[in-house]
Structures are given as structure tokens and as C-alpha cells.
Amino acid sequence: MNRFEKVISRGKSIFDCKTKAEAARGLKSLRIHAGALFLLPGLIGFIIFYIWPFFISLGYAFWDKPVNGSFVGFKNFLDLFQNKAYLKGLGNTLRFIGISVPLNMALSLGVAMLINKLRRHKEPFSLVFLVPLVIPSGSMVSFWKSLFAYDGALNGLLRTFGIAKINWLDSSLALFVMVLIFIWKNLGYNMVLYLSGLSSIPKEYYEAASVDGAKPWQTFRHITLPHLASTSVLVLIMSIINSFKVFKEIYLITGSYPHDSIYTLQHFMNNMFSSLNYPRLTTATTILVVIIALFTQTLLRLERKASE
Amino acid sequence: MIKAKERIITFILFCIGLLFLLPLIVTLTNSFMAEAEIALNYTSELTTFDLVDGIVEKFQQIKLIPEQVGFWQYTQVLINQPSFLILLTNSLKITFPVVLGSLIVSLFTAYGFTIWEWKYKEIVFMVYIVVMLMPLQAVLVPNYIIADILHIKDSYLAIILPGIFSPFGVFLMRQSMKVIPPAYFEAARMDGANNWYIFWHIIMPQMKSSMAALIMLTFIEYWNLVEQAVIFIDDYAREPLSVYLSRIAEGRMGLVFAASCVYMFLPFWFLMLGQKDLEKGIELSGVK
């Protein structure tokens, strides 16, 4: 009898136990740590709802049809990179991340530094920037719509200055509307991370710098920034993760087929869902998973280096 | 000098803050407008009076102060229109089980991670982190596949169950359990306490603030449900509020502001109660 069979037979005998104490002894002889009993229910659920179906979907990515299909190797991947809608979505997503993430990082650092300088009212001010984070996207849709519509209030305001109407949501400017809404919603998140980073910088450093007559820019460049390196990597990771969430607003404001400049990866996948194109959908998921996994691993390693 | 500087900073922050709160303030004040006033403000169609006055182009107007303050919208939304309340209960039916379930599952699982010296523990935890960092779109396809296999595609369970086992809660709870000094439970173990006792009487009292943070973050996420609703729910009557609000914005502009205010009341109230907890939750949710 190998060890595995032994464990199985002991496991069976636990169910025959008459008293609680006997069962407890039986469990001990199984050598199952109590910790495992706490861990396993959650882990099993996690495997059932995330890991297992992910491997099924990975399988679909290499087959031409979900049922009775034949193995096609990397054909689905090659096809996907020929697909115009996918390439557009991928390009737009990368462009959006490239613009919004650095901008959001800079602005949230700015706000965090201002709040950090305050002696009083720190809390109410950070509350203000946290509000957009908790407000559901659906409740702001009508405001954004009437602000940015072609006949909307913003164009009305511009007209009083004699500026011609701008088609905010239906031109390449839509990308900037998207960036604006993203920053409005996520600035508070980064601000909290930066505030906690700022508060961990020893005050003595700043005192020493001011004794030496350092200019504000020099203090920022040589004290604040280096100490925020590891926080910044963290903010970068979380910003990229959060940047995918802007889809909620964009979808609610502009629907399934928005202007070309804000047709993102998520729109593509959403529309694949409605046509239930499994091979294409799972291939797109696989690529996304691989990119995010590689990317975060690299950044996490960088973060560890930065915090040393 | 220092005082003047403080004043300038306060002023700058006040201005930026006002800009950030503007969408909310507008939504709130407009929710007290009567339907006729809303209809007048949010249209660009010209009336005969405009033509007589020689106005050739009109824009939607976002007005801050209502001409007459009234609760007409609220009585419509909360009393006369049962559809809104049905959709509000839909949102609750999804959010409440997820918040409660994920709290329990996350606490147990995280405690398991904390006390069990398992060889592959850190590798498994790494998998949790990778899944946690995946954008929703990457997770939805596996969610859909498993819902199909389990035949729960047409029920809220397709959204609720993955929510309960979501890796984020486990991550957050484990991070905050790490902060509790191991000496605490070593001492209890010396005194003969079992793991169950330690969990209830030593760990749980220390976790109050992190639990509040997890409840808030999960609540916000599922109260704001959009993507899953679009994919899993075909029936309009079973949709959560988020998707519905964007649709009534077209037809019934007169009600949308009050509906939005009712919808955002709960998360806003939670933020007021637990600002510190939310901030702590955000700090802990940063992967380290």
C-alpha cells in the first residue's frame, strides 16, 4: 500500500467514527493540518470558478469549433492578429493606457502632495477625491451625456466664447473624454496610495534639506521622488488594472459601437460574446492573460528592487 | 508666511475639489427639479417662442439651482413607479450575497493561508494574485464557461458565485492577517487554544477594520455592476440599476436625477461612515 492509498483508507474510516473525539484522532492520523480545512473550501471554489474554466477556455483557443472541432494549433491566434476590429481595440486600449496612466499618476501625486502639506482639514479633502471612486458609474451617465453631447452644455459654453460646436463623443476627441472620466474616477485611489507613501518619508529629511537651503524642486527631486519609487511602481500596476474599468462608463455613455477612437478591447470582447464566437473570444482572453501576467510579474520584480 | 501658504494650498484644493464634486452636485440639485423644468433645460429643440425671439440655435443647459424645489421626482421614483424599486432590489439581490459570501470565504481561506505551513502555499497564493490582477474581461470568459457547464447561466448565481470566490478578498484578508504578530496566536496555542478558538477570539477582533474595508470595496464593485449584467442578463426586468439608468436617461430624463441619487446614496453613506477603513483597504490592496 503506498501512502496515497493509506490516506484514502484512513479517510474512509473517519466516516465510520462514532464520537467526535474519535473523528478528531482520525483526522490527525490523516495528517491533515487544521489550516487545510480552513483553506480548502475557498481554494476549491476558486479552482472551480476561475482556474478550471480558464484551462477549458485555453483549450478552445486551439480548436476551430467548441464542439466536434479539430486541433488547429496557433491558427486562431494568427487569425486574430489579422482581425481589424481586434487590432483596433488593442491599439486603442494601449493608447488609452499610455495617455491616461501617466497623466493620472502625475495629477494624483500633485494632489497628494498638496493635501500632505496641509496642517488641518486633510481628511475632508481626501474624502472629496474618494467620492467619485465609490459613486456607481450608472448614476453619472446622464450628467456626462448632457455635458458632452453635440448639443450639450459644454458646446453651449464654448459658443458663448464664439467657438464652434465640437463633436466630443463622435470624433477622435472622444479619447480625451474617456481620459477625463478615468482621471475623475480614479485619482482618489492613487492619491490614497501616494499619501501613505508620503507619510512614510521621515520629516527629518525635509528639515535637513531646508537647513541646507534646498529649493522646493531640489527637495522634490532628491528626497520625495526617490522615496516614492516603490509606491510609484505600485500605483502604476494598480492604475493599469483600473484603467480597464473605464469601460463601464464608456459603455454606458456610448453603447456597443462607439466612435472608432474609443473602440477598446473590451468592446471587441463584448461583441464577440453576443455572437458567442468561442474560438475568437478565448484566443483574445488568452493573449490578454499572458500580457497582463508577464507585465505584472516584471513590475512586481521592479517594485521589490525599488523597495530595497 | 506659513499661514498664507496654507491658505493658498487650501484654496487650490478647494477649487479642484469643487470641480470633482460638480457632477454630483448637479445631479443632486437637479433631482429636486420638476419634470417640466428638466424637459426645458435638457433639450436643444427650438420652440415657437425661441423663433420669435430670433434664437436659431439652442444647447442643453446644466443648471445648478432649480427654479422651484420639489420632491416630484422622488415620489415618482419611489412610490408611483414600481419598476425602479424592482431594479433596486435586483441590485441588492446580487450585491448582498456576494458581500456576505466573499467576506466569510475570504476570512476562512486567508486564515488557512496564515496557519497552514504548506509546501506549495506561496505558489498557490501567487496564482491568486495573478487572477486578482486580471481585468474583468479576461475573467468573464471563464466565468461564462463554468456558468454554462453548471447550467446557471440564466440565474444571478452566474454572477454571485464567482464573486464569492473572488481572489481579491482572500488577498486583502491575508495581507491584514500578516500584520497581526504571530506571538499572539503562539501564546494562545501554548494555553491550549485550538485553531477555531484562535480564529474567533484572537484574529477576528483584530480584523474589524479590514473586514469593513473588504465589505465596502466588494459592495462598491457589485453595486456598480455593468459588464456581467450585459453578458448574463437578457431580461430587462432582471437587470441591475446601473444598466437601467443609462437607458432611462434617453426616454425619461425627468426621473433620472432622482433615480441616480437614490442609487448612489448607499455607497456614499458607506464612504461617510468608513472613510478611514476604505483608505486602509486601498493601501492593503496594493500588491506587495
Instruction: Please state the rounded mean pLDDT for residues A41-60.
Output: 91
CA angle, B277 then B140 then B160, to 5°: 55
Q: What is the pLDDT of residues A171-192, one digit of tens each?
A: 888 899 999 999 999 999 999 9
Min Cα–Cα distance to chain B from A94, Å: 14
Work out the minimum CA distance from B126 to partner chain A, whole angstroms. 10
Are both B102 and B175 inside the same structural domain? yes
More confident residue, B247 or A109: A109
CB contact under 8 A, A33 and B24: no
Q: Is the pTM for the entire model greater than 0.90? A: no
pLDDT-based confidence at B93, cuts 50/70/90? Answer: very high
Contact B17 A125 (CB under 8 A): yes
Question: Of B52, B70, B88, which residue constitutes the final position of a domain?
Answer: B70
Q: Are residues B259 and B166 in the same domain?
A: yes
The two counts, helices (H) then strands (E), for chain B are 17, 0
Q: Per residue in B221-236, pLDDT tens?
A: 999 988 888 888 888 8
Q: Cβ(B128)–Cβ(B170) under 8 Å?
A: yes
Residues B207 and B82 reside in one and the same domain: yes
Expressed in percent and rounded to 5, the helix, strand and coil fractions of chain B are 75, 0, 25
HSE-CB of A247 using CA atoms within 13 angstroms: 26
Residues B64 and B83 in one domain: no
**Over residues B249-274, mean pLDDT:** 84
**Mean pLDDT over residues B247-251, rounded?**
65
Three-state secondary structure of chain A: CCHHHHHHHHHHHHCCCCCHHHHHHHHHHHCCCHHHHHHHHHHHHHHHHHHHHHHHHHHHCCECCCCCCCECCCHHHHHHCCCHHHHHHHHHHHHHHHHHHHHHHHHHHHHHHHHHHCCCCHHHHHHHHHHHHHCCHHHHHHHHHHHHCCCCHHHHHHHHCCCCCCCCCCCCCHHHHHHHHHHHHHHHHHHHHHHHHHHCCCHHHHHHHHHCCCCHHHHHHHHHHHHCHHHHHHHHHHHHHHHHHHHHHHHHHHCCCCCHHHCCHHHHHHHHHHHCCHHHHHHHHHHHHHHHHHHHHHHHHHHHHHHC
What is the percentage of chain B residues whose pLDDT exceeds 90? Answer: 33
Instruction: Please compute the mean of the pLDDT values over residues A14-22 and round it to a whole number.
Output: 59
CA neighbor of B160 nearest in space, from B231, B106, B248, B101: B101
B216: nearest CA partner in chain A? A134
Q: How far apart are CA A287 and CA A281, in angstroms?
A: 10
Q: What is the pLDDT of residue B227?
A: 84
pLDDT at A265 over 80: yes
ipTM: 0.87
State which amino acid sits at residue A215.
K
Distance from B123 to chain A by nearest Cα, in Å?
Answer: 13
Q: Mean pLDDT throughout B264-273?
A: 92
At B44 the three-state DSSP class reads coil
Residues B153, B37 share a domain: no
The tens digit of pLDDT for each residue in B39-59 reads 778 877 777 777 777 777 778
* Interchain pair A234, B286: CB under 8 A: yes
B211 plus B239 within the same structural domain: yes
Q: Span A10-38, mean pLDDT? A: 63
CA distance B194 to A107: 50
Closest CA to A6 of A23, A24, A31: A31
Q: Are residues B55 and B100 in the same domain?
A: no
Structure confidence by residue, pLDDT tens digits, B191-201: 888 888 888 88
Q: Is A41 left (phi over 0), alpha (psi -120 to 50) or beta?
A: alpha
All three cell numbers of B4, joined, read 498664507
**Between A11 and A278, residue with greater pLDDT:** A278
Q: For the beta carbon of residue A31, count every other beta carbon within 10 angstroms.
A: 10
Which amino acid appears at position B166 of this protein?
S
pLDDT value at A12 more than 60: no
Residues B140, B39 share a domain:
no
Pick from B259, B226, B272, B257: nearest CA to B23: B257
pLDDT band at A280 (very low <50, low <70, confident <90, very high): confident
Probe site for chain B from A48, A49, A240, A271 (most B CB atoms < 10 A): A49
Query: pLDDT > 70: what percent of chain A?
Result: 89
Task: Return the residue of A nearest to B266 by Cα.
Answer: A135
Smallest Cβ–Cβ distance between A134 and the set B114, B140, B267 belongs to B267
Q: Are B241 and B256 in contact (CB under 8 A)?
A: no
Closest CA of chain B from A145, distance in Å: 9
User: What domains sit in chain A, N to C, each tagged with a CATH number?
Assistant: 3-73 (no CATH), 77-307 (1.10.3720.10)
- Suggest the residue from A28, A32, A38 to mutate for an interface test with chain B (most B CBs closer than 10 A): A38
Least confident of A22-36, A137-151, B170-184: A22-36
Nearest to A49 among B133, B165, B286 (CB): B165
Res. A26: pLDDT tops 80: no
pLDDT number for residue A21: 65
Q: What mean pLDDT, rounded, does chain B reach?
A: 86
**Which one of B44, B70, B96 terminates a domain?**
B70
Based on the domain organization, do B7 and B90 belong to the same domain? no
For the segment A30-40, the average pLDDT, to the nearest whole number, is 78
pLDDT at residue A7 tops 60: no
Number of structural domains found in chain B: 2
Same domain, B63 and B41: yes
At B251 the pLDDT is: 62
Cell of B183: 506571538
Q: A228-256 pLDDT, tens per residue? A: 988 888 899 889 888 888 888 888 888 88
B79 has pLDDT over 80: yes
Among B70, B85, B103, the domain boundary falls at B70
Q: How far is CA B10 from CA A109, A123, A186, B81, B279, in A?
A: 16, 12, 21, 44, 21
Task: From chain B, pick out residues whose CB is under 8 angstroms from the CB of A189.
Answer: 282
Residue B54's domain comprises 2-70
What integer pLDDT is reported at residue A186 of this predicted model? 92
Q: Looking at the complex, report in whole angstroms how far the Cα of residue A123 sits from the nearest Cα belonging to chain B.
A: 9
Q: Which residues in A lie closer than 8 A to residue B16 (C-beta atoms)?
A: 111
Same domain, B129 and B28: no
Residue A304 has pLDDT above 70, yes or no: yes
A131, A136, A178, A269 from B21: Cα distances, Å: 8, 14, 18, 33
- What is residue A6's predicted lDDT score, i.e. its pLDDT? 59
Dist CA B115 CA A35 (whole Å): 6
Q: What's the confidence (pLDDT) of residue B218?
A: 94
Residue B154, domain CATH: 1.10.3720.10
How many angstroms from the chain centroid is the CA of residue B214? 11
B66 and B89 together in one domain = no
Is the per-residue pLDDT at A4 higher than 60? no
